[in-house]
Amino acid sequence: MILDILVILAMLTGLLFFVATTVGIIRFPDFYSRVHAAGKGDTLSTTLFLGGAILFLLRDFGTDTLLTAGKLLLIVFYIFIASPTATHAIIDAGYEFRVPYWTRSKKDNSTKGDEESMDNGFYPEDLKG
Amino acid sequence: MNLEPFFIAMAVAILFLMLCNLYRVVAGPTVIDRMLGMNVIGTKTTVLIVLIGVIDGRVDLFIDITLAYALLNFITTIAAARFYQRLAQPAPRDPRESLVAPSAGPEVEEVDTPAAVADSVRKETP
């Protein structure tokens, strides 16, 4: 009974984080902020969902369910390492790609001196979209 | 307590949010945005497969598919990111530069004027 409540709690928290991730990916104005939303919320919500599945499997205890729960724990461990690595690779590619970053206005964009090595107007047209 | 309706509701909610993420894949301004959206969708697909297995009562059958899907998603994302990272960098003028990793160090300084080129050639010949 208390295990069921824990399963429901974990999955609802995971769904909350996934809703936040989706809202961030759709609504944020910039590529870099979108990566920020996706990298954190996606990893944590996946971990919480799979943790809820593990708790549900351990409800009827046995060697079979223990083996399956071990495999699921392996997947959780793998995703917890691989998803931030993939996000880092994506944002590295975007930085080398010189994706333009968000500023408040065009005027601010032209008066900035520090980031001019990044915002030099280079934008590969054939790869855009 | 019967948790099967709860799992079905969770799977439907995840599917709906994945469709919302598909908007970024369709309308993303750059290729990298599309890659990001597909990475999130692929990560959530593993959760969806596990939930389908839990609803079906055969998780031990679906768990191997989930593991293979997670590995494949990671490898695809890394490969696409590396491809676009190499594409954004200029091709090496000197064949010796290709021995160095592309994102390893600072860029080589520009020697484009004829005097500088002649100077560098003079330096290399004994």
pLDDT, tens digit (0-9, with 9 covering 90-100), for A98-124: 888 887 765 444 444 444 444 444 445
Residue A78 pLDDT greater than 70, yes or no: yes
Mean pLDDT for chain B? 82
Q: How far apart are CA A87 and CA A17, in angstroms?
A: 17
The answer to which of A68-82, B46-60, B86-100, B105-119 has the lowest mean pLDDT is B105-119
Closest Cβ opposite residue A97 in set B36, B54, B84: B84
- Burial call A88-118: b when 16+ CB within 10 Å, e when fewer: ebbbebbbbbbbebebeeeeeeeeeeeeeee
Closest Cβ opposite residue A86 in set B1, B28, B77: B77
Q: How far apart are CA B126 and CA B110, in angstroms?
A: 23
**Residue B109 maps to a domain:** no
* Cα of B28 vs its chain's centroid, Å: 15
Paired tokens of A17:
């984080």
Using 50, 70 and 90 to split pLDDT, how confident is the model at A61? confident
Scan for tokens 């003028």, then name that residue: B93
Residue B37 pLDDT greater than 50, yes or no: yes
Helices A63-96, B59-88: axis angle to 10 degrees equals: 10
Residues of A in contact with B10 (CB under 8 A): 11, 15, 49
**Residue B63 maps to a domain:** yes
Give the percent of chain B with pLDDT over 90: 52
pTM for the complete prediction? 0.76
Task: Tell me how long chain A is.
Answer: 129
How close does chain A come to B112, measured CA to CA in Å?
20
- pLDDT of B28 reads 78
- Burial call B84-107: b when 16+ CB within 10 Å, e when fewer: bbeebeeeeeeeeeeeeeeeeeee
**Residue B56 maps to a domain:** yes
How close does chain A come to B103, measured CA to CA in Å?
9
Tell me what ipTM this predicted complex has: 0.78
DSSP state of A59: T
Contact B52, B42 (CB under 8 A): no
Write the pLDDT tens digit of every residue in A19-49.
999 999 999 888 899 999 999 999 999 999 9
Give the percent of chain B with pLDDT over 70: 71
Residues of B in contact with A56 (CB under 8 A): 3, 54
Note whether A127 contacts B87, CB cutoff 8 Å. Answer: yes
Q: How far apart are CA B110 and CA B101, in angstroms?
A: 19
**Residue B120 maps to a domain:** no
- pLDDT of A80 reads 93
Domain range list for chain A = 2-101
Measured at the CA of A110, the angle between CA A107 and CA A111, to 5 degrees, comes to: 90
Q: Could you tell me the residue range of the domain that residue B67 belongs to?
A: 4-101
Residue A4 pLDDT greater than 50, yes or no: yes
**Residue B21 maps to a domain:** yes
Closest Cβ opposite residue A96 in set B31, B59, B88: B88
**Residue B18 maps to a domain:** yes
Q: How far apart are CA A42 and CA B44, in angstroms?
A: 8
What would the mean pLDDT of B65-83 be, rounded to a whole number?
93
Using 50, 70 and 90 to split pLDDT, how confident is the model at B97? low
- pLDDT of B102 reads 56
What would the mean pLDDT of A7-27 be, rounded to a whole number?
95
Q: How far apart are CA A46 and CA A17, in angstroms?
A: 9
Note whether A25 contacts B50, CB cutoff 8 Å. Answer: no
What would the mean pLDDT of B21-42 be, rounded to a whole number?
91
Paired tokens of A103:
């500023």
> Which of A73 and B111 is assigned the larger pLDDT?
A73
Total domains in chain B come to: 1
What would the mean pLDDT of A8-29 be, rounded to a whole number?
94
- pLDDT of A121 reads 45
Q: How far apart are CA B86 and CA B124, in angstroms?
A: 29
Q: How far apart are CA B86 and CA B29, in angstroms?
A: 20
